[in-house]
Structures are given as C-alpha cells and as structure tokens.
Amino acid sequence: MEMTIRDRIWWWLGFSALCLIAFWAGLAGFWTAQRDPPLRIESRLLTPEVPPGGGVRVEHTAYRSDACQLTVERAIIDADRVLFRIEDTLYFAGRTPAGESDSFVEDTAVPLAARPGPARLRETLIHVCNPIHRLWPVTQRLPDIPFVVTERAE
C-alpha cells in the first residue's frame, strides 16, 4: 500500500511533534537537574566591632561557574537572637563572566535597635539560572559571619 501525499504530511507532522516534545522534555530534565549553586564565595570580616547604626564590612571573593540572576537575602541576628531582615539585593547576571573570580566589599548597616554583644550576619543567595528555577530556585546559605555590636557612642 502506497502512502498518499496527505498521509505523508500527517506522518511528518506527527514525527515533528514527537521530536519537539522529546527536545523540550530533555531540556526541562536538564534544567531540573541543574541544582548546584553557580557561586563559591569566600568571605573575610573587615569590621569585627560595629556600633548600632554602623556598617558591617565584609570582603567577598566570588568564583562564578555560571552567569545567573542572583538575589541576596541578608539578616543580622543580635545578642538577644532577634533577627533583623535587611532589604534584598538583586543582581541580574552577575558582576563577572562565568569562570572568573571577583572581589568586592559589602557594607551592611546594623539596625539601631540591635542589642550590644555577639551578633551574626546571615546571607542567603537565591540563584535563577533557567526557567525551572523561577519556580524552584537554587538556594545557597553562606556561613554566618560573627561580629560584635558595641555600645552606641553618645
């Protein structure tokens, strides 16, 4: 039995649809499996003692393996274990190209209500590298950075 032109058109449409479905399913699987954080960060505290209203200065060296959108969530936890959320910072594609490192200094204001004593700066990085990450982002919590909140100078 010979295929008519109409049968061939339907066969090519079906074959093309299956190829597109296989391609998008494979791509979605690849994106879903992409769960490793695209940054490795080393941090060094520059201001071990900070008064309320002052700034905690931290030098970060970031080693980037992929250029992704990044949201940095910051919080300061004071001596009474009160958590002060700091406004989030959004970076669209990173400061440096993938495969390179970058050093920068970050200054985070200590809230005026923070109690004197041992405190910690907590940073969480939220990476969006592909469309799946818009629904299920890669979250990377950095080690807390300890510092001391001093008495406010009058």
23-43 pLDDT, tens per residue? Answer: 999 999 999 888 999 989 999
Angle at 132 between CA 127 and CA 133, to 5 degrees: 15
The sign of the dihedral angle between the CA atoms of 83, 85, 86, 88 is positive
Of 147, 79, 140, give the one whose Cα is nearest residue 107: 147
Task: Identify the pLDDT of residue 110.
Answer: 95
In angstroms, the CA 65 to CA 75 distance is 26
> Please, are residues 53 and 109 in contact by the beta-carbon 8 Å criterion?
yes
* 92-131 tens-digit pLDDT: 765 566 777 888 899 999 999 999 999 999 999 999 999 9
| Residue-level pLDDT at 115 | 94
- Contact (CB, 8 A) for 142 and 45: no
